[in-house]
Chain A
Amino acid sequence: MILHELLSYDLLRVIWWGLLGVLLIGFALTDGFDMGVGALLPFTAQTDVERRIVINTVGPVWEGNQVWFILGGGAIFAAWPPLYAVSFSGFYLAMFAVLACFIVRPVAFKYRSKRDGFAWRNRWDWALFVSGAAPALLFGVAVGNVIQGVPFHFTDDLHTIYEGAWYAKFIGLLDPFSLLAGVVSLSMLVMHGGAWLTVKTTGEVQKRARAYGSIAALVAVATYALAGVWLAYGIGGYRIVGEVAANGPSNPLYFQVERTASWLSAYADRPWIAIAPALGILGGLLTFAGLRAGREVTTLLFSKLAILGVISSVGLTMFPFIMPSSSDPRSSLTVWNSSSSHLTLFIMLVVTVIFMPLILAYTAWVYRVLWGKVTAKDVTENSHSVY
């Protein structure tokens, strides 16, 4: 098989770095509002009917949305095996917490309205709240850690070793900057959930969604800007030194890496990437204004722009780093040293090019079929078939 030589190895690596971003953004745009809606559930809905309205706005689509998360895992495994191996075993207990949420959430959606008892439903509502808010926070915390570097190194056999005892590994994740990143992520997804509820509901529920959503939008913009300032003055970056073998074998130990004063020197080298954080801030402010003004579909679009800007700004700032190592910078994972083989990247690209448009097309069709507001009438008349 020589077909894969059509695209050079370094180009495929950059394409897959971009696709990694597409997956994360796809996940945040779709499952993001599910998590946001879960986090907003206790605030936007008081009566059982209201809660069922809120839940049923995402009822038919959360399952498909969640596949972005699962595909994210699969695609990282296929395209960036060292990243898959290092990050999930490194963030072990945090990963478990995220998995626990993603295990409880499907069950909570499906089972909540299958019994009548108040206590039964109330417990599942709590489960939906926690399983929406906690991962939204933890994803941001993980990104905050990655930006600062994670304490791991490789042995000569490429076994991954983490520094520190297990509790230190877990508690150590919760440093102030990472917590701030967690707040950015949580408030951003709550904003997105609020925008979604504005589109899908009416009356009281919509009013509350707009109120809480706009607060979240302001918090997201403020904390994101604060994180940017912190990054400029308080957090060091990383840089590859010596020759960059962009077409070389995927072995982190073949590179030399050193610490730099700040990640933000990337903006001097590639000024055009400033468009990403600008989009993040502008999108957030427009979402705030849209929610205040009561605009529906445009607000959801603004919220999507904000998420697009915030997530891509992280990737663009760190490029070519994916997961730097704070204790042994040489072990850092970059675009050039932690991908799959040339052949695997090519095959996975072919499969993605075939299936991604199909997925987007049928997902769009399903959203179109389900278009429209969820009302009290809908949930009471179809008690048997909706959540």
Chain B
Amino acid sequence: MEFGIVELSRLQFAMTAMYHFLFVPLTLGLSILVAIMETVYVMTNRPIWRQMTKFWGMLFGINFALGVATGITMEFQFGMNWSYYSHYVGDIFGAPLAIEGLMAFFLEATFVGLFFFGWDKLSKVQHLVVAWLVAIGSNFSALWILIANGWMQNPVGAEFNPMTMRMEMTDFFEVLFNEVAQAKFVHTVSAGYVTASVFVIGVSAWYLLRGRHAELARRSITVASAFGLASAFSVVLLGDESGYDTSLNQKMKMAAIEAMWETEPAPAPFTAFGFPDQEARETHYAIHVPYVMGLIGTRSLNTQIPGISDLVAQAETRIRSGLVAYDALMTVRAERDATPPEVMQTFEDHSADLGFAFLLKKYVDDPRQASEAQIKAAANDTVPTVWPLFWAFRIMVALGFGFIGTMAYFFWRASFRQMRYPRWALHVAVWMIPAPWIAAEMGWFVAEFGRQPWTVDGVLPTAMSVSALSMTEVALTLAGFVLFYTVLFIIEMGLMLKYIRKGPFQDVAETEAWVARHHDRLAGRRNADAIAQPAE
């Protein structure tokens, strides 16, 4: 593969997006866990829950800062590096991004300041509401960005307008209720909840191993394991495989993930292990589990899952249809209002395949001049590289089942074994901390790399989407981002570790001072005794 501006731009996008997603899942989950802890505090008035809220809230804040900082890049780099993409689909893709700002970013960002600065300025219930608004805001932002991303995977509710040379929205509600987007949203926020649960359990386990802050750690594990167990089931069972039958390209992604070279009789077997060979279109040393693939992929016993070879043949048909659309488009553009109706009709009949004709732009300037060999090559290009998808997906799924097991075990110990945990389990929990991040990054890799060669499935090829920039410019910014992000990551990890090592001592002291200050005020209240009690 030659390395040009397209590849360099993709590398920059992948780097900045995956880096951003190091912080997002923890924000999604920890915001809710902190709000749950504060809810328990407000309901029971036990100071220990206030300490927990403040301690985990502090770690949330350190993480949140980098989530915000790296998210800014995401909002602007479509225009910077993918200007043709922005022009071509901005009419649809821009809307959820703007709504995300209006509905989610303002909410979380306006109240996150008050969460940290408002302890003495708000009543307890007011502060609790603020905590929940931050959590809801964070989760809303996931909803809207996944509606945007879901549209790239399954572009519904839009059609091409030859007058403006771009896709335009025809039905907002189709974009909103896109089944791929909905599935992705549930899957992604669940992944965030699992991440935060694993993090909270891991850090608490480390305290228990050191014999520190046992009260805080035990309660934290209880909350996180209950929340984490539900989320782990959700992330695996409601994985975003639903919706993989919606379009040719989604089918191709699934076939690539499963290394299914040929269509198998339903229900297809699942390849648990093997070495996919793109050239020969076969998987070496494959271990098959009968029926499982058909069941997961189609939720039925008799629906066939098409294999890669069949899908390539379909792509070739669509390229030929796309060429008819492209030819008609040239007339429409030249004649504008004077276009003969039969040409307009031809264009409308074939415009759904226009994107497939664009696949040929990689080989010839005018797709209509493409040779048979080039058409075959372009059809072949619709197959993403199989082996990284195959492996990334399997690592993600294995980790997913691992989370269910871990969460179930901790939930059982918390519920039925007096919150006592054997040392080996605590060690496992500590070592488990990086696992959800690996799973989440693998998941995004599968979703985005599996969509290649398209930015918008079947509509716009990646190669056409880039800005007309020089290699130097993109190389400079890529180097800048790498440098910046590395320094910030080191600083963030340093602070995170510092505050974890330090533990909640300050939160304990601060809470005690706070309780003393407010003792008189609270003395007349119903739960005054509970407040005045020491943290057990």
Contact = CB atoms under 8 A, between A and B. Distances in A.
A89 B117 contact: no
B81 A89 contact: yes
A71 B106 contact: yes
A212 interface: no
Interface stretch (A5-13, A181-189, A343-351): A343-351
Nearest to A105: B69
Given A92-B473, A114-B495, A340-B90, A352 B80 contact: no
B425 interface: no
Contacts of A93: 473, 476-477
Given A89-B81, A99-B72, A111-B65, A347 B117 contact: no
B110 A77 contact: no
Given A89-B81, A158-B165, A362-B110, A344 B91 contact: yes
Interface stretch (A40-48, A261-269, A363-371): A363-371
A244 interface: no
A47 B469 CA distance: 46
Contacts of B151: none
B99 A351 contact: yes
Interface string B127-171: 000000000000000000000000000000000010111101111
A66 B68 contact: yes
B109 A66 contact: yes
Contacts of A102: 69, 72
B interface majority secondary structure = helix
B97 A78 contact: yes
Contacts of A111: 62, 65, 491, 495
B113 A64 contact: yes
Interface string A276-320: 000000000000000000000000000000000000000000000
Contacts, number: 257
Given A70-B75, A160-B87, A344 B333 contact: no
B351 to A, nearest CB: 15
B61 interface: yes
Contacts of A355: 102-103, 106
Nearest to B116: A385
A366 B108 CA distance: 12
Nearest to A156: B333
B62 A110 contact: yes
A270 interface: no
Contact of A110 (B61, B97, B161, B506): B61
Contacts of A166: 469-470, 472-473
B418 to A, nearest CB: 33
B207 interface: no
A88 B79 CA distance: 5
Contacts of B80: 88-89, 92, 95-96
B172 to A, nearest CB: 5
A165 B470 contact: yes
Interface stretch (A79-87, A171-179, A219-227, A235-243): A79-87
Contact of B86 (A81, A104, A359): A81
A96 B65 contact: no
Contacts of A162: 468
Contacts of A161: 468
Nearest to B176: A347
Given A78-B97, A111-B65, A355-B103, A159 B118 contact: no
A103 B84 contact: no
Given A78-B94, A370-B114, A73 B102 contact: no
Contacts of A81: 86-87, 90-91, 94, 166
Contact of A106 (B68, B87, B105, B106): B68
A256 interface: no
B112 interface: yes
Interface string B318-359: 000000000000000100000000000000000000000000
A67 B87 contact: no
Contact of B169 (A77, A103, A344): A344
A106 B110 contact: no
B510 interface: yes
Given A64-B110, A158-B165, A103 B76 contact: no
B18 interface: no
Given A158-B166, A161-B468, A351-B102, A110 B90 contact: no
User: Chain B CB within 10 Å — which of A1, A62, A96, A115 has the most?
Assistant: A96
Nearest to A167: B472
A55 B47 CA distance: 30
A107 B87 contact: no
Interface in B410-431: none
A71 B105 contact: yes
Contacts of B242: none
Given A166-B473, A347-B95, A359-B110, 6 more contacts: A63-B113, A77-B94, A103-B73, A111-B62, A160-B87, A363-B106
14 contacts: A64-B113, A66-B109, A84-B78, A88-B86, A89-B80, A103-B70, A110-B65, A111-B62, A111-B65, A343-B169, A366-B111, A369-B121, A384-B510, A385-B510
Which 4 A-B pairs have CB atoms at the shortest separation, nearest pair first?
A: A81-B90, A88-B79, A77-B94, A78-B94
Interface of B: 61-62, 64-66, 68-73, 75-76, 78-81, 83-84, 86-87, 90-95, 97-103, 105-107, 109-114, 116-122, 161, 163-166, 168-172, 333, 467-470, 472-473, 476-477, 480, 484, 488, 491-492, 495, 498-499, 506-507, 510
